[in-house]
């Protein structure tokens, strides 16, 4: 896991260094750059899988961010010995070419490969790992927008999930190179729940890391992961007296994991002091995004201080299994369409925010519900099994019934921004600072964001 950046042009080396400095939090364990002709690639490293420094070069150059969970199987097929998924990816690309290499990957990734005066950038099929680019007088890319801003770029695009972009002096070509396989509709409740349990068990196992932590709210999604994971630490954040504070204590007790719970009650003063850092991290002053990012930002910050580098999250369960209230009133076909649209947009709506909040504290976020096989299964499960007799996430609850107590299994949970108490706390802070009327919370956060931008100039 790390941060990557690259640029073209006569000043590419200096620009890439500026970009790496802007995302140093993503990789405190080292950095490196490689320049050939007018192309420079760079990396800041957070050591998790292997110790191979980047960029990797040998007739081409690779910088890579993410985790490839089947790299050992790929390395064995390639007849190479390595503990590095980045080294394995490089060897696979050199052996089979980019598109065939991507087809073999099981993981969450974004990477760039340069060869023969061209740069290729690619992103995993759901967009778990971020990648942004800008093209004008020069071409540049990076793991976070702030890196491109640091290099003087204004018009910034996100590479679409599952796509590969090729840059050359002739321009850019973007094409979809990976996605999700389709299959027959699954309408049998028992078959669906059994398959879902097995795939979730595998998804959590492959993402488990020692020491491992879970962003824990005490709801169905994080409780299911906690029950499947091997001896995880549970990190929970909420405003003093909030629903999440009470729920996580109760849930941890029901799971028999009270001794693994790290529970932190935020004060209004702590929240107010952290708002500029949170806005800076997620590059947004939208009240909803700030309020949702805040618990994860603090949880990853606390975990990082405890030596944790990997944290699991329940992100994606609501979009795959119909967890939001807005889904209940939809008819069958409309629900199917809404869920597919939401999973297609989850990278820009949720994943980029969550990655930035956790990586601001040098913690890698892993999302078992967004495992490729879990997504492919979820897309096959009939909508009637997702909202069943008015019960949201029905099939997920059935899948987890063997390892979760009924008190957690069937409990409905409030939206994260309200259950944590952060959104109401932001409203109070806005009023305390003299904001009132329409969009007063948004205008309060906008004023903080403007101060951040002014201080940079």
Give pLDDT tens digits for 279-335.
Answer: 999 999 999 999 999 999 999 999 999 999 999 999 999 999 999 999 999 999 999
Residue of 2, 157, 212, 331 marked active site: 2
On whether both 165 and 237 belong to a single domain, the answer is no
Instruction: Give the pLDDT score at 417.
Output: 63
Instruction: Give the pLDDT score at 375.
Output: 98
Q: In sequence order, what are the residues at sequence separation of 6 or more whose Cβ sits closer than 8 angstroms to the Cβ of residue 220?
A: 317, 393, 396, 397, 400, 404, 408, 409, 411, 413
Q: Could you tell me the residue range of the domain that residue 89 belongs to?
A: 2-176
pLDDT category, 418, cuts 50, 70, 90? low
Specify the CATH number for the domain of residue 306. 3.40.50.620
Instruction: Give the pLDDT score at 419.
Output: 83
The CA distance from 47 to 443, in Å, is: 39
Instruction: Give the pLDDT score at 51.
Output: 59
Instruction: Give the pLDDT score at 198.
Output: 98
The CA distance from 443 to 139, in Å, is: 34
CA angle 236/241/246 to nearest 5° reads 55
* Mean pLDDT across 382-407: 97
Specify the CATH number for the domain of residue 101. 3.60.20.10
Confirm whether 455 is domain-assigned. Answer: no
pLDDT category, 383, cuts 50, 70, 90? very high
**Would you say residue 413 has pLDDT above 90?**
no
On whether both 155 and 102 belong to a single domain, the answer is yes
* Closest by CA position to 174, among listed 128, 225, 119, 130: 119
What total of structural domains would you count in the chain? Answer: 2
On whether both 230 and 337 belong to a single domain, the answer is yes
On whether both 195 and 83 belong to a single domain, the answer is no
DSSP state of 55: S
For residue 394, what are its two tokens? Answer: 């029905």
**Would you say residue 92 has pLDDT above 80?**
yes
* Mean pLDDT across 372-382: 98
* Mean pLDDT across 136-156: 95
On whether both 122 and 58 belong to a single domain, the answer is yes
Whether 331 is catalytic: no
On whether both 240 and 162 belong to a single domain, the answer is no
In the predicted model, what is the mean pLDDT of the chain?
Answer: 94
On whether both 113 and 144 belong to a single domain, the answer is yes
Instruction: Give the pLDDT score at 412.
Output: 75
Where among 141, 176, 211 does a domain terminate? 176
On whether both 406 and 345 belong to a single domain, the answer is yes
* Mean pLDDT across 365-375: 98
The CA distance from 398 to 409, in Å, is: 8
On whether both 158 and 193 belong to a single domain, the answer is no
Could you give the percent of the chain with pLDDT greater than 90? 87
% helix / strand / coil in the chain, to the nearest 5? 45, 20, 30
* Mean pLDDT across 219-244: 94
On whether both 171 and 199 belong to a single domain, the answer is no
* Closest by CA position to 166, among listed 228, 230, 116: 116
**Would you say residue 401 has pLDDT above 80?**
yes
Q: How far is CA 29 from each of CA 46, 303, 307, 364, rounded to the nearest angstrom? A: 5, 17, 13, 14
* Mean pLDDT across 212-236: 95
**Would you say residue 45 has pLDDT above 90?**
no
**Quick check: 9 and 38 in contact, CB under 8 A?**
yes
On whether both 292 and 391 belong to a single domain, the answer is yes
Could you give the percent of the chain with pLDDT greater than 70? 96
Confirm whether 206 is domain-assigned. Answer: yes
* Mean pLDDT across 80-100: 96
Confirm whether 439 is domain-assigned. Answer: no
pLDDT category, 30, cuts 50, 70, 90? confident
Confirm whether 349 is domain-assigned. Answer: yes
pLDDT category, 118, cuts 50, 70, 90? very high
**Would you say residue 457 has pLDDT above 60?**
no
Q: In sequence order, what are the residues at sequence separation of 6 or more whose Cβ sits closer than 8 angstroms to the Cβ of residue 49?
A: 1, 67, 71, 83, 84, 85, 86
Instruction: Give the pLDDT score at 212.
Output: 85
Q: How far is CA 25 from each of CA 19, 220, 286, rounded to the nearest angstrom? A: 12, 31, 23
């Amino acid at each position: 896991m790390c941060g990557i950046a690259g640029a073209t042009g006569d000043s590419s080396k200096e620009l890439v260094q500026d970009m790496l400095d802007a995302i140093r939090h993503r990789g405190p364990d080292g950095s490196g750059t490689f320049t050939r002709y007018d192309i420079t690639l760079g990396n800041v490293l957070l050591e998790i899988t292997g110790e191979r420094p980047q960029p990797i070069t040998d007739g081409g150059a690779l910088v890579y961010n993410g985790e490839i969970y089947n790299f050992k199987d790929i390395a064995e097929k390639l007849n190479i010995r390595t503990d590095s998924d980045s080294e394995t990816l490089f060897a696979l690309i050199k052996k089979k070419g980019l598109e065939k290499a991507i087809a073999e990957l099981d993981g969450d990734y974004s990477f760039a490969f340069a060869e023969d005066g061209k740069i290729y950038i690619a992103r995993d099929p759901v967009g778990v790992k971020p990648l942004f680019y800008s093209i004008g007088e020069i071409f540049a890319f990076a793991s976070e927008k702030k890196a491109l801003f640091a290099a003087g770029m204004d018009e910034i695009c996100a590479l679409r999930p599952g796509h590969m972009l090729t840059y050359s002096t002739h321009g850019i070509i973007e094409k979809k190179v990976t996605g999700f396989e389709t299959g027959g509709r699954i309408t049998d409740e028992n078959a669906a729940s059994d398959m879902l349990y097995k795939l979730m068990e595998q998804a959590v196992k492959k993402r488990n890391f020692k020491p491992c932590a879970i962003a824990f709210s005490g709801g169905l999604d994080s409780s299911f992961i906690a029950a499947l994971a091997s001896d995880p630490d549970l990190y929970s954040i909420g405003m003093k007296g909030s629903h999440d504070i009470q729920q996580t204590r109760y849930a941890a007790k029901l799971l028999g994991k009270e001794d693994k719970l790290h529970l932190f009650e935020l004060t209004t003063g702590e929240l107010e002091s952290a708002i500029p850092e949170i806005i800076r991290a997620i590059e947004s002053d939208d009240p909803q995004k700030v309020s949702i990012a805040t618990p994860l930002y603090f949880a990853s910050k606390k975990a990082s201080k405890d030596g944790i580098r990997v944290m699991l999250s329940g992100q994606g369960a609501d979009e795959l299994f119909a967890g939001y209230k807005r889904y209940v009133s939809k008819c069958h076909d409309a629900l199917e369409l809404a869920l597919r649209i939401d999973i297609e947009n989850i990278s820009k709506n949720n994943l980029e925010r969550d990655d930035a909040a956790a990586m601001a504290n040098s913690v890698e976020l892993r999302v078992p519900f967004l495992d490729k096989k879990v997504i492919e299964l979820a897309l096959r499960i009939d909508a009637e099994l997702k909202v069943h007799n008015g019960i949201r996430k029905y099939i997920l609850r059935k899948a987890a019934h063997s390892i979760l107590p009924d008190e957690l299994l069937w409990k409905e949970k409030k939206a994260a921004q309200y259950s944590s108490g952060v959104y109401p706390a932001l409203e109070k802070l806005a009023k305390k600072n003299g904001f009132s009327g329409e969009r007063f919370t948004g205008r309060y956060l906008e004023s903080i964001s403007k101060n951040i931008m002014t201080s940079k100039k």
